[in-house]
Copies of this chain bind each other. A is one copy, B any other.
C-alpha cells in the first residue's frame, strides 16, 4: 500500500476516504481535517481563548496538540476524578504534556473540592458512576470556562464516539439528546459557554495513529468504570458494519447532522434555561443537577463540603500556567 500523496510506503490507511498515507502525509491530512472542521463549523478563531477538556487519554491530548500546532490559544482543563491510580496517572500525563509544550493547564481536584471522587459522588447520590462523572464534567467545564473568560470549550469526541452516542440515542428514542448532539453547540444563555468537537471528522484509530506518530505519551488504560460499558458494545456493532462497509459511521453521523437533526430541531421547542437557585449555573430545573448531587453528597458526608449557602462552591483551580 502506497501513500496517495508521495507513493512511499503507507503507514495509515483511511478506508472510508479510499486513501492511505505515509507518516508525514498522514499527520498533514489529520491536521487539515481538524482545521477544516474548525473553520467550516465556525468553532473558533485564532483570537478566541479555547479551553480543551483533557483527560490524559489519547484523543484529548491529540486534540490539544493539533490545536497548539495550528496556532490556536488552547489551554487545558483536567478534572482529577479521584479514581485511584488511574486518576493519578491521568493527571501526570496532562501535566507532562503541558510542560513539554509550554501550555497552560488548569486542574480541578474533585476529591479535594467535594470530599469524594466521582465514584463517591455517584454512590452517595444514588447515580451510576458514569452519570455522576458526566454530570460533573459538563458542569465544571462550563463553569470554569466562563469564570476564567474562555470563549469556547473543546472536547475530543471523535467520529466513533459520536456515531456510538447517536446510535444509543436512536435506540433509546432520546429526542432531546438527539437535538443537542452536534459538533457545535452555540451558547443559548449568558451562562452557557459554546461547546465544540473539532475531532468529529476523525476516526478513533486515526487519533491513535496520530498519537503514536507524534510520540504523545497518554494513559493507555481505559477508565476502570467503562469496562463493559454500553458505549463499547455500540462501538463493536458499528465496527462490524464499518469493516464490511467503510464509511458507515461517517454516513450515519453526517447524514444525521445534515438531514435528520434539522427536522428534529424544527419539531421540538428548545428547553427554557434559567439560573440555578443555588449556584446560578444555567439549568432547566429550579436547582441544577450538579447542586442536587453535591448537596446529597454533602449531607451524606457532613464534612467540610457541607453546603455553605451555595451547594456547589467555586471550584479551586490549580494552574501550571507557564507564563
Q: 1/0 contact trace for A249-285 toward B, CB 8 Å?
A: 0011011101110111011100000000000000000
Residue A32 CB within 8 A of the other chain: no
A316 within 8 A of B: no
Across the interface, name the chain B residue whose C-beta is closest to A234: B241
Which single residue of chain B is at the shortest CB-CB distance from A241?
Answer: B237
> How many copies of this protein are present in the complex?
2
Chain B contacts of A173 at CB under 8 A? 251, 254-256, 258-260
Quick check: is A175 within 8 A (CB to CB) of the other chain? yes
In the complex, the chain B residue whose C-beta lies closest to that of A267 is B263
Which of B238, B240, B268 is in CB contact (< 8 Å) with A236? B240
Quote the shortest CB–CB distance from A160 to chain B (angstroms). Answer: 14
Q: How far is the CA of A302 from the CA of B229 in the complex (A)?
A: 61
Inter-chain contacts of A252 with B (CB < 8 A): 170-171
Contact status B263-A171, CB under 8 Å: no
Cβ contact of A172, chosen from B255, B262, B266, cutoff 8 A: B255
Instruction: Report B-chain residues with C-beta under 8 Å of the C-beta of A245.
Output: 230, 233
Please determine whether A251 and B172 come into contact, CB atoms closer than 8 angstroms.
Answer: yes
CB neighbours of A259 from chain B (8 A): 173, 175
A320 within 8 A of partner (CB): no
The smallest beta-carbon distance between A46 and chain B, in angstroms, is 33
A260 in contact with B264 given A240-B236, A244-B233, A245-B230 (CB within 8 Å): yes
Contact residues in B for A241 (Cβ distance below 8 Å): 171, 233-234, 237
Task: Using A237-B237, A237-B240, A260-B264 as known contacts, list a sample of 10 further A-B pairs with CB atoms less than 8 Å apart, ordered by residue number in A.
Answer: A170-B255, A171-B255, A172-B251, A173-B251, A173-B259, A175-B260, A233-B240, A236-B240, A240-B240, A267-B267
Q: Could you list which residues of chain A lie within 8 angstroms of chain B, going by C-beta atoms?
A: 170-173, 175, 178, 230, 233-234, 236-238, 240-241, 244-245, 248, 251-252, 254-256, 258-260, 262-264, 266-268
Kindly list the 8 A-B residue pairs having the minimum CB-CB distance in the complex, ordered from nearest.
Answer: A173-B255, A263-B267, A173-B259, A237-B237, A171-B252, A266-B267, A237-B240, A171-B251
